[in-house]
Amino acid sequence: MDYHLTEEQNAIKEMAERFTADQITPNAAQWDDEHIFPRDTIQQAAQLGFGGIYVPQEAGGIGLGRIEAALIIEAMAYGCPSTSAFISIHNMATWMIANFGSKEMIARFVPQLVSMEHMASYCLTEPGAGSDAASLKTQAVKDGDHYVLNGSKAFISGGGENEIYVCMVRTGETGHQGISCLVVEKDTPGLSFGANERKLGWHSQPTAMVNFEDARVPVQNLVGAEGDGFKIAMSGLDGGRINIAACSIGGAQRCLDEAVTYVQERQQFGSPIAGFQNTQFMLADMATQLAAARALTQIAAQKVTENAPDKTQFAAMAKLHATDSGSKIANDALQLHGGYGYLMDYPIERFVRDLRVHEILEGTNQIMRVVIGRSLLN
């Protein structure tokens, strides 16, 4: 059930669901097991416009709103949260260039990003700057018509694989006022990557350190003006948090559906376990949490689309509630499967692993509570 969707929104949702059923769901277990990055499948998604979902049409995207983006991300996460999250991050980084970049920059980068011939990473987090993003230390010192970059970015999705890195760097004073946004291309001298991280989940996408050692980046790759970086980063995160909420909702819906099917087939004490009141109570709680998360996420998405004054608060609320609920629903689905849920022969354990990180990225859920609390008190 969705919150007052239009005919067009339902058509977009159904298109994304068909693509997922045909291209993602049948392959997701293999991608996870063999740590395959499905570049070809991701580029097929771009043929449907999913490489520039909310990039304006004049910049080459399909110019949809954040509700439509959430519907697409949710649908793909039903098959593979890891792959859906990768596409979400690419969209966030591409939107930053399309929304804040110069006309020359948009023309130079966005067409290949929308087609996903090139893919984009978002580089904010550092080894010593996670929740306290404004303390980042990667330096960008102006030298003629270039910036010289030194520092490292951590936990970067697509690190070493993607062609474009949208990076928050320090060009000025300490604090958020001294942060700027630069586009760094993969072939930049002085740019290198760490080994692919060994992760609990998200096996279908590479994650690595991004390192700068006297990396020279043209001044024309500056997004916006010097000092705009933190504002750009936070603007991107409003949409990113809604997308990761939608990603958790899609994964949780899959887990609920798998659990409903399983409990009707599994028999104990001479009857299906679906007949036991405890089973029904667990399913009821899972379905209620899921419906509430979806409704809140769609409300937040509408606020971001409309640039409402409380958009950041609601994006944080959606991210907090949906990712907490998504992990609980996946864990409860595993419990309903019993020992079988713990086996890799069933999809539940993959969703438990993939959804867990959603409580950490795009701002931890503890930071979401800080954002919400401050919004209420200001």
DSSP secondary structure letters along 316-377: HHHHHHHHHHHHHHHHHHHHHHGGGGGSTTSSHHHHHHHHHGGGTTTS-HHHHHHHHHHHHH
Angle between helices 39-46 and 81-100 in degrees, nearest 10 = 50
Strands 191-193 and 222-223: unpaired
Q: Which amino acid is at 127?
A: P
Contact at 8 Å (CB) between 196 and 208? yes
- 163: tokens are 């062609």
Contact at 8 Å (CB) between 71 and 246? yes
The whole-angstrom separation of Cα 158 and Cα 347 is 24
The full length of the chain comes to: 378
Choice among 17, 74, 161, 362 that is catalytic: 362
Contact at 8 Å (CB) between 206 and 37? yes
265 is catalytic: no
| Residues designated catalytic | 362
